[in-house]
Amino acid sequence: MSIPILTESVGGVNIKWADYPFIARVRQIHAHKDGRVTAELTIYLIEDDQEKLLYPTTQVNMVAERTRQSLAKSIEIQASSNYPWQEIVYQICQKVVEYSRKGEAGETLVVVEGGEIIPPSYLLEPVIMAGVPSVIFGEKGMHKTTLGLLFTLCISLPWHDNPFELKTNSLRSEVGMLDWESDKSLTLYTLQRLLNGSGLQSFALNYRRCIPPLAEDIEQIAKFLDDKKCDVILIDSIGAACGGDLMKPEYALRFFQALRSLNRTSLSIAQTSKNEEGKKTIFGSTYFQYYSRNIFELKKSSDAYDKDETKVALFHKEGNYSGKYDPIGFRFHFSPTSIKVEREPVDFGEFMERINRQKLLLELLKDGALTTDQIKDKMEISRANADMLIKRLRDKKRIVKNKEGAWGLLI
Task: State the pLDDT confidence band at 378, using cuts at 50, 70 and 90.
Answer: confident
Which DSSP string do the residues of 216-284 spell out, in sequence order? GSHHHHHHHHHHTT--EEEEE-HHHHH-S-TTSHHHHHHHHHHHHHHTSEEEEEE-EEE-TTS-EEESS
Q: What is the pLDDT of residue 83?
A: 86
Mean predicted lDDT score pLDDT of the chain: 88
Q: What are phi and psi of 164, to 5 degrees?
A: -100, 0
Q: What is the pLDDT of residue 305?
A: 57
**What average pLDDT does this structure show over 17-34?**
87
Dist CA 55 CA 80 (whole Å): 10
Report, in angstroms and rounded to the nearest whole number, the Rg of the chain calculated over CA atoms.
Answer: 27
Identify the structural domains of the chain with CATH numbers, from first to last.
4-102 (no CATH), 122-351 (3.40.50.300), 356-409 (1.10.10.10)
Q: Per residue in 57-80, pLDDT tens?
A: 999 999 988 888 999 999 888 876
How many CB atoms are located within 10 Å of the residue 398 CB?
14
Task: State the pLDDT confidence band at 144, using cuts at 50, 70 and 90.
Answer: very high
Question: H/E element holding 188?
Answer: helix 184-198
Residue 276 has pLDDT above 50, yes or no: no
CA distances from 220 to 56, 244, 256, 326 (A): 18, 20, 17, 39
Residue 53 has pLDDT above 50, yes or no: yes
Q: What is the pLDDT of residue 384?
A: 84
Q: What is the pLDDT of residue 349?
A: 63
How many CB atoms are located within 10 Å of the residue 190 CB?
16
**Cβ atoms of residues 360 and 352 within 8 Å:** yes
Which DSSP string do the residues of 327-352 spell out, in sequence order? PEEEEEEE-SS-EEEEEE---GGGGG
Residue 146 has pLDDT above 90, yes or no: yes
Per cent of the chain over pLDDT 90 is 51
Residue 277 has pLDDT above 50, yes or no: no
Task: State the pLDDT confidence band at 201, using cuts at 50, 70 and 90.
Answer: confident
Dist CA 270 CA 128 (whole Å): 15
Q: What is the pTM of this model?
A: 0.72
Task: State the pLDDT confidence band at 297, using cuts at 50, 70 and 90.
Answer: very high
Closest CA to 327 of 297, 366, 292: 297
**What average pLDDT does this structure show over 6-15?**
86
Dist CA 126 CA 294 (whole Å): 9
